[in-house]
Amino acid sequence: MHDTSLEPPPSAPPPLPLVHRGRVTMLHGIAPDRTLLSVLREELGLTAVKEGCASGDCGACTVAVADVTTDGALRWRALNSCLRLAHSVAGCAVWTSADLVHDPLIAKTTDLHPVQEAMRACHASQCGFCTPGFVMSLFVAYQRRAGEGLGHEEAVRVLSGNLCRCTGYRPILDAARAMDDYPRAAMDEARLRDLVAQADAARGDAPQGSTYLAPRTLADALTARARWPQAMVVAGGTDAALALTKRQARWDRVLDVSRCDALTAVSVGSDDTGPYLRIGAAVTLEQAWSVLAERWPRLGPFADRFAGEPIRHGGTLGGNVVNGSPIGDSMPVLIALGARVVLQRLDADAGLQTRTVLIEDFYLGYRRTALRGDELLTAVDVPLREPLPEVAAYKIAKRHEDDISTVSLAAAWRLDPDGAVQHVRIGVGGVAATPVRATAAEAQLLHRPWGRDALQRAAAALQASVQPLDDGRASAGYRRAMLGALLMRLAQTTEPGVPGVIASTAVGGLESVAPIAVDVELQGEPS
């Protein structure tokens, strides 16, 4: 292994080129741990973008970012600039709400952009502090939908990462629907693509020893990881940046893997265990949950409750997994699906070394994982053995969206031709220092007819087998009760003939559930 004790101190940070207001702006001397919010406000004087919570909850810091993906598509994202490292958007185009008025790339017939006109006409701003963030979330939706207005449900989803304490939201939702009432504001996308290409070329490759490393190949990423194991590894940075904004941490060197092509790809492969879906570690949460929901549509409503839209646009599946939070939303679902994490490193003698670990075995303790100091988590593999299992996932949180789970549960099951459970895996979060596979509950279901009785026994086994967290978010008793209720929700959303519940629409919602008895007699293995 490389001897880091002989390394010179980090060199200067690389230049930071941005596309802003129709030209490439080059910034120099930006420290690797500066947030995009601080650079926009302090270096560029763009004070329309605000800092509210500094944790990605309120959305006052939301900005629009556009780049070109490896397949040539122009990608629009709403991002929390308080959590985004400034260097992570090098080579991208960035807009704040003030830029919608002044950007020469936007052709308008009025002074204001249609999003701003709709907000003004619908009286959707009161104190105004949160308004720039709402405008930028709607602007990204406007660009993605070619200027169309939003329906109510889509507007709620698009604005799930923005909070307002004044208007009561109705005028803001009215503005989202009214955006297309005004003459279209057209973006000069051809010119934008040219400018993004210029900015990306100006970014180039950081020199060896740079304080901000953003490798484009897996080999370069693993080489950097081996050489600088103490560097902070980031992809979306939506959790890592909290150390900067909340704990005043400082990072001397950053390894950003979000530009690594191999880590941003989604593919289907096969090995001796069968076919699998490989999701690169730096694939955004939005894309990762989209490809999972394509195969398991029941996951769609659950995915919409994963944080807010700016977090889904910026955060990554690999980051959520390696973060190791016991209340992360991805892990129970991935446990239920039997997913494996792919861990890779470069050995000085043996070259590339790869190992895979079942995700429930990846966690060793509270925010401790099996990842070695010279390894990177490069992908998550989800089995695709036919027939695919049925999957359902639920969470309970203090808010319907834009919040982490108090407790969550996911289940995957397959029935044999006689209706007995042939395969079942259950993952739960919020019940221990790590995400947990609920093997005791699985044992009460396996080889038995699927139905309310079996699920009742499984719920009782689950409640008896866990020692939930007891903290300010919820008591252990509440979490235990809700775990049983979430498992019993499967009876209401999958068992035919249950009054008042439609299986195709109830999954992932907040419908009521039957009371759970914890004194049900558990059964051993069926004879």
Which of the four pLDDT bands, split at 50, 70 and 90, describes residue 421? very high
Mean pLDDT, rounded, for 101-126: 96
C-alpha–C-alpha distance, residues 251 and 44, integer Å: 23
Residue 386 burial (C-beta neighbours within 10 Å; 0-12, 13-18, 19+): exposed
Does the pLDDT value for residue 8 go beyond 80? no
Using one digit for the tens of pLDDT, what is the confidence trace for 88-109? 999 999 999 999 999 999 999 9
Nearest-angstrom CA–CA distance, 178 and 173: 9
More confident residue, 249 or 208: 249
Identify the band that residue 46 occupies on the pLDDT scale cut at 50, 70 and 90: very high
At 100 the three-state DSSP class reads helix
pLDDT of the residue at 10: 62
The CA distance from 381 to 50, in Å, is 39
Domain spans of the chain, in order of start? 4-98+190-262, 106-187, 265-506
> Average pLDDT for residues 363-388, to the nearest whole number?
96
Question: What integer best gives the mean pLDDT of the chain?
Answer: 90
Residue 318, SS3? helix
Amino acid at 401: E
Q: What is the mean pLDDT of residues 208-230?
A: 93
Q: What count of Cα atoms within 13 Å lies in the side-chain half-sphere of residue 241?
A: 28
In the prediction, which pLDDT does 9 show?
Answer: 59
DSSP 5: G
pLDDT tens digits for range 422-481: 999 999 998 889 999 999 999 999 999 999 999 999 999 999 999 888 888 899 999 999
Class of domain 106-187: mainly alpha
Q: What is the pTM of this model?
A: 0.91
Q: Is 114 helix (H, G, I), strand (E, B) or coil?
A: helix
- DSSP state for residue 284 in the 8-state scheme: B
For position 524, what pLDDT does the model report?
56
d(CA 74, CA 217): 21
Beta-strand (E) ranges in 397-523? Answer: 407-415, 421-429, 436-437
Rounded Cα–Cα distance for residues 509 and 300 (Å): 11
Lowest mean pLDDT among 107-121, 214-228, 459-473, 503-517: 503-517
Q: Is 176 helix (H, G, I), strand (E, B) or coil?
A: helix
Q: What is the pLDDT of residue 401?
A: 75
The pLDDT-based confidence of 501 (bands split at 50, 70, 90) is very low
Residue 408 pairs with which residues in a beta bridge?
A: 395, 429
Q: What percent of the chain has pLDDT over 70?
A: 91
User: For the chain, what percent of residues have pLDDT higher than 90?
Assistant: 81
Pick the CATH number of 265-506 from 3.30.465.10, 3.40.30.10, 3.30.470.20, 3.60.21.10: 3.30.465.10
Sign (positive or negative) of CA dihedral 34, 39, 42, 47: negative
How many Å apart are CA 381 and CA 359, to the nearest integer?
A: 10
DSSP conformation class of 12: P
DSSP-assigned beta bridge partners for residue 47: none
CATH number of 4-98+190-262: 3.10.20.30
